[in-house]
Amino acid sequence: MKFLDSLFGRTKLRKPKVDALFSLSTAYLAMEVMGFAPTGKSGICFKPVESSRFSELENDLKELLRLSASESGTSCQFQTDKYNYAWIILSDDDFEDLITTTHLISETVIEHNFEERLLCSIFAFKGVYLIYSYKEGTFYPFAPLHGKTMERDNNLEFRVRSTMEEELPIEKELEKWHPLWGIPF
């Protein structure tokens, strides 16, 4: 069957490995030691689709986040960027709550069978982002240079990578370190 699927261009997507998000529970402490404190912001980026099932997912996410906010204090906002990607932006001074809520959102999207719509999760630190690629199941650093358009601090990214390799599943192929310009937080 795999042969016929590949012959006709049908590929089965792997389920995203969302449990790797929990590796941030200890890794963020190493980031703090490096001088990169969490900003209290994270986000989940996904490609929306026009369908009643997807509208149902959005409604379920809003209700889930409302309930979660009452327990954890994590606030959220929904936003669409200029590329028509949807963002759920989370704010919480407790980094563990950001991780847990991000995982909860990811699992909910997967349960509704929209895992192929998940692009990434992003965790903001002062001066650098850690991006989790759902497709690859790995993290990579992204350090845009402030005040300059579409330039990044590669030296800083490599420094973060070398420190975080022991803490996180870091993407080894640099060509998969996609810059995300215009992160809305």
Q: Which domain CATH number covers 158? A: 3.30.70.600
44-94 tens-digit pLDDT: 999 999 999 999 999 999 999 998 888 889 999 999 999 999 999 999 999
7 occurs within a structural domain: no
Tokens for 1, please give them: 């069957």
127 occurs within a structural domain: yes
76 occurs within a structural domain: yes
100 occurs within a structural domain: yes
26 occurs within a structural domain: yes
Domain that includes residue 71, residue range: 14-172
2 occurs within a structural domain: no
Full-model pTM: 0.89
5 occurs within a structural domain: no
Tokens for 185, please give them: 């937080």
Domain count, the chain: 1
97-137 tens-digit pLDDT: 999 999 999 999 999 999 999 999 999 999 999 999 999 99
22 occurs within a structural domain: yes
- Report whether 184 contacts 87 (CB < 8 A): yes
Residue of 57, 1, 22 whose CA lies nearest to 139: 22
